[in-house]
Structure 1
Amino acid sequence: MRKARAVLVSAVLALGVSLTIGATPAHAERLAGVFRDYSECQRIGNQGIAQGWWDSFHCEWEGRYRYYFLYA
């Protein structure tokens, strides 16, 4: 089960990054992570602001994947 979940998360990340790179202008948000819990998504988003990795972020629930996507 863990291997299947790891493969699924990797595939979702790769798909999200490829769609983000191919479909958005350079100044648009990018996919910065995929999380199971909203609180974890928020924690990493806030950490990114504190570290200077990005200026803003939002977590978006994707029901078909059952994960939260962090866009920064």
Structure 2
Amino acid sequence: MLRFKPGTKISDKFYARHDGTRSYFFGKEEFTLIAEAAGFSVESVEICERSTTNVKEELNVKRLFLQATLVKQ
């Protein structure tokens, strides 16, 4: 969410990218609710941390992703 420029925020946790696509950010609890509402059983949800480096601009940005194991009910 920090990398989005001012004026790109559509609503809370929902942003517009420069190419016209959208990004929505959610946590473990919200993801679990969405998955269960779609008919999945959530076996595990873990936060994975990655680091992205922009050599040209000398930026090192930490990125967090959710990795989940789901079973269709």
Larger relative contact order (Cα-Cα within 8 Å, sequence gap ≥ 6): 1
Shared fold, TM over 0.5: no
TM-score using structure 1 length: 0.36
Structure richer in strand, relative to its length: 2
TM-score using structure 2 length: 0.35
- Work out which of the two has the higher radius of gyration on C-alpha atoms and give 1 or 2: 2
